[in-house]
């Protein structure tokens, strides 16, 4: 039930600081594999520092029942080694941020399914 359409890609073995906020209701992202719970409070920026020890996928979801369908808000994190993260960033992350006029999606075709980054 924790399927997502998008994946948050982060580097492993690096100190990470995330700044979160919310515009409507309180959210509380809980990723048990990382031992991390991030609270997002409307009108307030909260800072969270964490460190990912192992490379791989981590799954979590919103731990607050803060509104209709908010308990169905999953999150998927892909932790890559730093060198692989830089390669991913220059291939998929940075061009998406710089060239927003071309809404070209990067994908890989395997048979009949298309996997998107």
Q: pLDDT tens, 58-117?
A: 998 888 777 776 667 888 999 999 999 999 888 887 666 665 554 455 454 444 444 444
| Candidate from 34-38, 48-52, 74-78, 107-111 with smallest mean pLDDT | 107-111
- Listed residue (33, 30, 75, 74) closest to 52, CA to CA: 33
Where residue 9 falls among pLDDT bands split at 50, 70, 90? very high
The whole model's pTM is what?
0.73
Residue 79: Cβ within 10 Å count: 23
Beta-carbon contacts of 37 under 8 Å, excluding residues fewer than 6 positions away, are: 28, 29, 30, 31, 63
Residue spans of the domains in the chain: they are 8-116
What is the CATH number assigned to the segment(s) 8-116? 2.60.40.420
């Amino acid at each position: 039930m924790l399927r997502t359409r998008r994946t948050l890609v982060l580097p492993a073995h690096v100190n990470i600081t995330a700044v979160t906020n919310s515009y409507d209701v309180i959210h509380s992202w809980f990723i048990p594999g990382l031992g991390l719970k991030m609270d997002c409070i409307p009108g307030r920026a909260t800072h969270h520092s964490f460190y990912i020890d192992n490379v791989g996928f981590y799954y979590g979801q919103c731990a607050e029942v803060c509104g209709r369908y908010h308990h169905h808000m999953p999150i998927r994190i892909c932790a890559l080694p730093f060198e692989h993260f830089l390669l991913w960033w220059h291939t998929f992350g940075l061009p998406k941020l710089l060239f927003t006029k071309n809404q070209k999606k990067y994908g890989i075709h395997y048979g009949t399914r298309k996997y998107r980054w």
